[in-house]
Amino acid sequence: MSLDPLLLAGLALLVLLAVLAIRTAMFRTRQVAVRGIDAPDLDPEAPRRLARALQFKTITQRDPSEIDADAYRAYREYLEEAFPKVHDAMDRTEINEHSILYRWEGTDSDSGSVVLAAHYDVVPVDAPDQWDHGPFDGVIEDDFVYGRGALDDKASAIALFESMEMLIAAGYSPRRTVYLAIGHDEEVGGEDGAAAIADYLEQHGVSPSVVIDEGGAITVGAVPDVSEPVALVGVAEKGYLSVEIRADGMGGHSSIPPEQTSIDVVTTAVQRLRDNPLRASLSGVTGETLQFIAPEMGPAGKTAFANLWLLRGLITWALTKDPTTDAAIRTTTAPTILDAGVKDNVVPSTARAVVNFRIRPSESVKDVMDHVRSQLSDLPITLHPQQQGEPTRVSPMNDEWFDLVQRTIREVADGVVVAPFLVPGTTDSRHYASISEHVYRFAPFRLTEDDKHRIHGINERISISCYRTMIAYYMQIVRNADALGDAPGSDGAASEAPEVTAHERSA
Ligand SMILES: [Zn+2]
């Protein structure tokens, strides 16, 4: 007996549809269920304290000797005046003069520590007259606090103090030691600030259970097919490599041009690197991002991501079509400098280009150099690696510390979807990755498309309701961390945890 081929094909299609449907139905949410908590009553003076902090011109400079040291000093004195309880309860250490580390001793010296990090330097303002309010006036208008640093990152820096001040006022004593790590040079790499703070902690034998820093926010309308806001928690940062490509010794008169000029060679090299980028892949952090977000999507998105076994290639291809998602799934290749020639009738003897790569965590500086060499091996050029840094390690996305951050966000910001993500840029937190396995980059302010342009841009501002959420978040991080039982030396297993234990995961 032989079956009709059409019938066979029909049966196969039915089976395929059934598999797709079953896998989609089994695609469970990765969002933990929580009971929301009410944000604490905010002292009416709190927004004004933030506004005042925005008035100090703690403007970053490439050359550290050029900063206005008086402004930095005045800012630190202001902290003492504005947050007396913190300054009573915590020890304070100045690091490289301008960075500050506060230590609030925990009641259980064996239970590890929590580092809450932020920075108080800000980028310069290039068009002050285009602001509605002076960038350093610290104006409050219509539920917004305006000023340079309102989002990046003085809101976090001041919310940290405000939240600790409130915990102290409420009589709270932390079980785990709490550090506030306030850097002063994040915008120029954090070498004198966060890197030195991390060194200091390491020298004092501190390896924090968790580090919370800036890097992610609550995005509004940024993720297609998800109606709720999505809180993106940075779990790693990309690496960095700039490579100079040079072609030398090919000059001549432009009336009889040589067969190959230095400009030809360098532009060919750049074009070849652009045409042959490093491979895009859904594995790694961005793959996990999708696993957290996709179950919250509409039926089409859910079906697609529940069935990566079938659609991985297609989805990867689709993600490469948008520069933002493309950057999330591969090491990017960006030509940034092109330099040759001095006179219109001279074929320059030298041409140079610089190409900047942002390296995803599964690749390294060496992998990228190998790729560049193999792509350009036949060209008469020399390669000169310049600034470089490896990608950070990836903090866990499936353990109790990620859960703690996720739970805390959902407690203070009702109804948001939480997902880990790969931070495309760099922050101070890369320096803490060497002393803690758990570094999470997130502050719970809402970020619309419009707000994104305000960071490092014009009319930077934060709403007072977001600011209130930030304060609630830092308070709750400390409380939830204290409730989590994983004292070092207890080999990380479920130790004598207080009542609030890690919840059941539903995924
Ligand atoms: Zn920042």
* Pairing verdict, β 382-389 and 417-423: unpaired
Q: How far is the CA of 178 from the centre of ligand 1 (A)?
A: 21
Domain contains 251: yes
Q: How far is the CA of 263 from the centre of ligand 1 (A)?
A: 38
Q: In which band, very low, low, confident or very high, does the pLDDT at 6 lie, cut at 50, 70 and 90?
A: confident
Same domain, 113 and 214: yes
Query: Residue 238's pLDDT is what?
Result: 96
pLDDT digits (tens, 9 = 90+) for 348-373: 999 999 999 999 999 999 999 999 99
Among the three residues 389, 407, 440, which one is the final residue of a domain in this structure? 389
| 26 vs 178: CA distance, rounded Å | 40
CATH code for the domain of 260: 3.30.70.360
CA atoms within 13 A on the CB side of 115: 33
Q: In which band, very low, low, confident or very high, does the pLDDT at 8 lie, cut at 50, 70 and 90?
A: confident
pLDDT digits (tens, 9 = 90+) for 26-36: 889 999 999 98
Same domain, 220 and 289: no
Active site residue 186: yes
SS3 383: strand
In the set 186, 363, 400, 411, the catalytic residue is 186
Active site residue 378: no
Helix, strand, coil percentages in the chain from 3-state DSSP, rounded to 5: 40, 20, 40
Same domain, 315 and 383: yes
Same domain, 207 and 330: no
Domain contains 135: yes
Spatial CB neighbours of 387, under 8 Å, sequence gap ≥ 6: 240, 241, 242
Same domain, 263 and 176: no
Q: How far is the CA of 484 from the centre of ligand 1 (A)?
A: 29
Domain contains 463: yes
Domain contains 294: yes
pLDDT digits (tens, 9 = 90+) for 261-281: 999 999 999 999 999 999 999
Among the three residues 337, 367, 389, which one is the final residue of a domain in this structure? 389
Does residue 104 register a pLDDT over 80? yes
Q: In which band, very low, low, confident or very high, does the pLDDT at 5 lie, cut at 50, 70 and 90?
A: confident
User: Average pLDDT in the 183-205 region?
Assistant: 97
Domain contains 17: no
CATH code for the domain of 111: 3.40.630.10
Specify the number of domains making up the chain: 2
Domain extent at residue 83: 46-234+393-483
Same domain, 230 and 242: no
Same domain, 192 and 82: yes
Same domain, 215 and 246: no
pLDDT digits (tens, 9 = 90+) for 277-323: 999 999 999 999 999 999 999 999 999 999 998 999 999 999 999 99
Same domain, 85 and 225: yes
Same domain, 252 and 175: no
Q: Give the chain's mean pLDDT.
A: 92
Same domain, 151 and 209: yes
Same domain, 132 and 194: yes
